[in-house]
Each structure stands twice: as C-alpha cells, then as structure tokens.
Structure 1
Amino acid sequence: MRRANMEKVKEFLELSEEESEIVSRLKIHPNRVGHEPSFYEDFVLRGIRVDRVEPGFVSCTFKVPPRLTDSSGNLATGAVANLVDEVGGAVVHVDGLPMNVSVDMSISFLGTAKLNDELEITSRILGQRGGYSGTIVLVKIKATGELIAEGRHSLFGRHASKL
C-alpha cells in the first residue's frame, strides 16, 4: 500500500517533456552579490517589495502569484511559512555575517489570501540574547487590514566579535 502511494506521488510530480523544457529555460538571477542563486530563493522571493527597513523592523508588500496558490486559489500555507521564515530572518540579518538559522517557528493561520491579493508583511524583533533572536511576523491583506497569519520565529546566528 505504501509503495503504491509513493508511486502515485512520483507520477504526480513528474514533469512532462514540455514542462521539462520550460524549466530548463528558466533564468535565475543572483539576489546576493557573489552568491549563486538557488531555485528556491528565486521561487519564494520573487515579487517581494521591501517598503521600509528600520533597526528591528521590516515592512514588505507582496502580490499573491499563481505559483504560490493551492488548488482552491488560496495562498498556500507553505508559502505563508516561507514568507514568515524569510521576512523574520531579514529583520535580524547583519550584512557581512552568514544568514541566521531558523530554530523554531510557530504560525497561527487566521484567514486566507486569494490570487492577486496584495499582502503587507511586517516583522519586528521581539528580543535577542546571545546568538538567539525572536521575531514576530504579521501577514495582512493590504486593502482590508485583515490578518491572515501571525508567525513567531526564533533564529540563531553568529555575531560579530567584540574584540
């Protein structure tokens, strides 16, 4: 039974010849100078517009694209988790140091966003101790202010030496 299910999943995920050709032509541009981009970074981050950055605060807007919706046309919960991870990590990032690593993430899904909804995503630092940081990320529909998700995100990263 388990093997049959795995075969069904494998068949579902296989690309047609036409889809394979389309994927092979994708151009992925670096989003960090000196680093090769990954397909994941381009897929998740494409379309995010940073509106405001202050110490301990980041605000972004994002229009829900078809590639991140589920079969019902709603923003996929996995896409919300990726947005919480990326924007929560951005608020604690320090240029010149490696990205922090997610240690824990908790997301409350409070509503849904539809295809082409414009979202406002804000993140702020809740606190820091040593290499650990805690952030909160709010995902809202920009036009109505409706809260779609609230994420709490804990990260760990190296800090600059005080020597």
Structure 2
Amino acid sequence: MDTAREFLENITAADQGDRVSRLRFAPHKPHAEPSFYEYSVLRGVRVESVRCGSTLYCSFTVPARLIDRNGKLSAGAIASLVDEIGAAAIHKCGKPMDVSVDMSIAYISDAKMNDELEITSRCLGQRGSYHSTGVLIRNRTTGEIVAQGRHSLFSLPATASKL
C-alpha cells in the first residue's frame, strides 16, 4: 500500500497516464483483507454506535485524498461512502458482502477538507434476499445535509441454487 501511495504522489501531470497504467497490485483476497478501494475510501470512518433495527451511526473527517479539483468532497467519494456504509448496515458477520443492485444519490451541499461529517445508515426494508438501505450524510458543524442516498442490495440465498 505504501509503495502505491509513494508512486502516485510522485506523478507529474505529463506522465500521469503512462505511469498509472503500469501500476500492478497483488490479487485481492475477498473477506480476508480490505481492498485498495475500501482502504482508501473508508480509512478514517469511525463507527459511533449501532442501534437495534439495523441503524449505523458514523463520523468522518474529510481527508485530502478524497477532495476534487475544486476543494470539495468528490461525488465519487460520496457514492463510495453510500455504497460501503449502506451495505454495512445490513451486513451479517461471517457472511459474504451483499451485491449492490441499485443506488441513487441526491448531492445537496458541499463538504470541504477537514469538515466533520455524520453518516447515518439504516435498513429501510427487506423482501427475501433483497434489502434496501438509506444513507444520510450531514455536516456535523452546520447541520446541512451533504447527500442522501438509497441503496438496494441482494444477498446470496441460504440454500444452494438448483440450477
């Protein structure tokens, strides 16, 4: 991980595409370790509480690595937070992560570097192996809603397929 970070930090705009295309990562071991993607996006998220009824409360200070060219938390980082934290609200320990089926996000206001965010994720409903979650990202200082997302996921059934 440190090698990749050093590599990316030393890239100039002129050789960015060429050097990034030569990056090689060891294969990811699912459920055994976080992926590069998960590590990058979720590093710094603190779970504050988990309440009955599948509600997850987190806090997050916006780091420089997730800021876009305009100095704001990037839309991709917000989508990743909705994806990962929405899935965490319904995840059952010892089971594979559920697969995202659909996600919609309303980007309402901006968050800047070092803003403290509150992220609330809750299960909205379940029908069979299909779950729906809602994720609300709010600026802790101003109270403004940064984004609101809905996330639908599918989990593998407990019984084996008959195909």
Q: Provide the rounded CA distance (Å) in 2 between the counterparts of 1:80 and 1:67.
A: 13
CA contact (8 A) 1:125 1:134 kept: yes
- Match for residue 73 of structure 2? 75
Aligned to 1:13: 17
Taking only the aligned residue pairs, the percentage that are identical comes to 53
Partners in 1 of 2:120 and 2:95 — Cα distance?
Answer: 22
Per-residue CA distance 1:108-127 (angstroms, 9 max, x = gap):
00000000000000011110
1:159 to partner: Cα distance: 4.8
Change (3 A) 1:107 1:10: farther
1:37 CA displacement? 2.9
User: Structure 1 stretches of 5 or more lacking a match?
Assistant: 1-8, 25-29
* CA–CA distance in structure 2, aligned partners of residues 62 and 15 of structure 1: 31
Q: Give the structure-2-normalised TM-score.
A: 0.78
Q: Deviations over 1:92-118 (max 9, x none)?
A: 101111000100000000000000000
Where do residues 4-153 of structure 1 align in structure 2 (5 Å cutoff)?
Answer: 11-15=15-19, 35-54=32-51, 55-153=53-151
Ranges in structure 2 where 5+ consecutive residues have no aligned partner:
1-12
Count of residues in correspondence between the two structures:
141
TM-score by length of 1: 0.78
CA distance in 1 between partners of 2:113 and 2:93 (Å): 33
The CA RMSD measured in Å over matched residues stands at 2.6
Paired with 1:92 and 1:14, the residues of 2 have a C-alpha distance of 40
